[in-house]
Amino acid sequence: MIKLTVSYPNGEGTTFDHDYYAATHVPLCNSAFSPVKTEIEKGVDGQPNAAAVGFYFDSMDSLQAAFGNPKMGDVMADVANYTNIAPVMQISEVVS
pLDDT tens per residue across span 46-75: 899 999 999 999 999 999 999 999 999 999
Residue (of 37, 5, 23) closest to 82 by Cα position: 23
Q: Could you read off the pLDDT of 13-54 as tens digits, one per residue? A: 999 999 999 999 999 999 999 999 999 999 998 899 999 999
- Answer whether residue 9 shows pLDDT above 90: yes
Q: What is the pLDDT of residue 13?
A: 95
pTM of structure: 0.93
The boundaries of the domain holding residue 29 are: 2-80
Kindly state whether residue 60 falls inside one of the protein's structural domains: yes
Kindly state whether residue 88 falls inside one of the protein's structural domains: no
Q: What are phi and psi of 3, to 5 degrees?
A: -120, 125
Q: What are phi and psi of 70, to 5 degrees?
A: -60, -20
Kindly state whether residue 92 falls inside one of the protein's structural domains: no
Residue (of 95, 69, 74) closest to 28 by Cα position: 74
Q: What is the pLDDT of residue 32?
A: 94
Kindly state whether residue 68 falls inside one of the protein's structural domains: yes
What is the tally of structural domains in the chain? 1
Q: What CATH number has the domain bearing residue 52?
A: 3.30.70.100
CB 22 within 8 A of CB 51: no
Give the H or E element holding residue 71: none
